[in-house]
Structures are given as structure tokens and as C-alpha cells.
Amino acid sequence: MRIGLLSFTFLLFFACKEDKTNTDKNTHFESSISQDSIVRDSTLNHDKKVPKKTFRTFEGLADTTFVRLADFSDGFAYDMRYATDNNFLEEKVYECGECYTRVKTAKALLTANADFKGKGVKIKFFDCYRPNSIQYKMWEIVPNSQYVANPEKGSIHNKGGAVDITLVDMDGKELDMGTDFDFFGKRAYHDNFDLPQNILDNRKLLKETMEKHGFWSIRTEWWHYNLSAASNDKVANFKWACE
């Protein structure tokens, strides 16, 4: 009996010791966490000190100057299809995808996008200014004026006054417009009303807002918008630098 009691006391002693060791470990562990937290917090504080991206302004720029939209706002989304082979040509025709337009087009796009944002959506670009040499390249692949503007005459894309766009929500999800970009067929026509109501509503939102900000559309492509004030500009062949 006495031996039993002794063993029990002995066990209790070690059990307590074990507990204490665990407590020590835990304390040590907790202190490591708080050390880490301090390090992490100081990293966060460091991040906070990094200045926010500053954007260019239009001050001093002529209305016909070519500018890159991303230098003026981070409020747009981009999927520059001709810089990939995911387009109707099935060929990559740009070395890199950038959205350039003339200043007056950029200004109108910024005000249109502010309007869209008030409705919980924003502009996503598929194509913007297209150098005339690229128009020649596209014409070589598809020499059919039903699909590609003849480069001799040029398109408003070559003038820096046209954009191919859709709308996305604030999470980047595309609104349903009924067809993909560059779908050539009746389903892409503005005057095709034989479509579900939500698609008609989405196209209406896009068209009415763009028209309000100085753009006009073409009947057969729901994604294409021309700036009215750009029609008299010259076809250009300015090329942007790729990093």
C-alpha cells in the first residue's frame, strides 16, 4: 500500500513536471508567435510607407497625342486579344498588348468609366489604337473587308479613336453580351433583339453610356465604339515600346 502511494506521488510529480515543461514550451511558442507578429507588423508598416502609384494628368498634352490608358488610371480591365492567338485571326499580331488612344479618346473613356463605376461595372478592353502596319498584317491574314478594314484606307482603330470593349463587374467577371468579342454573325448585331432580356439590358447599358460620352457604335459589332471627334484624325503608325 505504501509502495503504491509512493509510486502515485512519484507519477504525480513527473506528471506535473511534464505539464510544466509543456507550459514552458507553450510560453516559448507563444513568444515566438508574437516575435513573428512583430516582424510581420513591421513589414506591413513598411508596405504602408510605399507611396501609392501616381498617375499622369492631361495637362499640356494635345488632344491628338497618343497616350497609354494605364498611365492615367488603374480603373480599367484589359484582355488585349491581338497580343495573343485567342482572336478570330488565330494569330498574335501585337508583340505586346497595350491600350493606347489619342488624348481626347482617353479623356472620354475615363469619364465613361467613372459613369460605369457608379453602376458597379467598368470597361474591359479587347483592342484600342492599332498601328497601320498591324492593319496590313491583319489584312494579309484575312484579306476580306467584311472582317478587317482595308489598310489602304485604314480604320478608326488606326486613328486612335476606336476601342473594342465589354463590361466587367468589380470582381472582373464579364457581363453576358451574348457572344464573344469578334463573333461575326447576327447574334452580335445591335439590332438583333431576339436575345434574353439580361443580354439586351447589358448591351443597352454599354451603348447608352458610351453614346452619352461621345462615342457611336456600328450595327454589326456590340463591342466596337468610335469617338465621334476622331473621325477626321489621320491614320497613324506610331508603335509603343514593349518592355
Strand ranges in the chain using DSSP code E only, listed in sequence order? 66-68, 77-78, 100-102, 121-127, 162-169, 215-218, 221-227
91, 174, 211, 221: the active-site residue: 221
For residue 169, say whether it is annotated as part of any ligand binding site.
Answer: no
Name which position in 76, 132, 224, 235 contacts Zn ion (CB under 5 A). 224
Q: Using the rule CB under 5 A, give the single segment among 25-33, 54-62, 111-119, 223-231 that binds Zn ion.
A: 223-231
Minimum CB distance to Zn ion smaller for 113 or for 166 = 166
Site for Zn ion in 132-191 (CB under 5 A): 164
No. of H helices and E strands in the chain? 4, 7
Q: Quote the least distance from Cβ 139 to Zn ion, whole Å.
A: 15
Is 221 among the catalytic positions? yes
The phi and psi torsions of 225 (rounded to 5 degrees) equal -135, 130
Q: Using the rule CB under 5 A, give the single segment among 58-66, 74-82, 111-119, 220-228 that binds Zn ion.
A: 220-228
Q: Are strands 77-78 and 121-127 parallel, antiparallel or unpaired?
A: parallel
Rounded Cα gap, residues 212 and 207, in angstroms: 9
C-alpha cell at 217: 457604335
Minimum CB distance to Zn ion smaller for 164 or for 233 = 164
Q: Which residues are known catalytic residues?
A: 221
Q: Could you list the residues that contact Zn ion (CB under 5 A)?
A: 164, 224
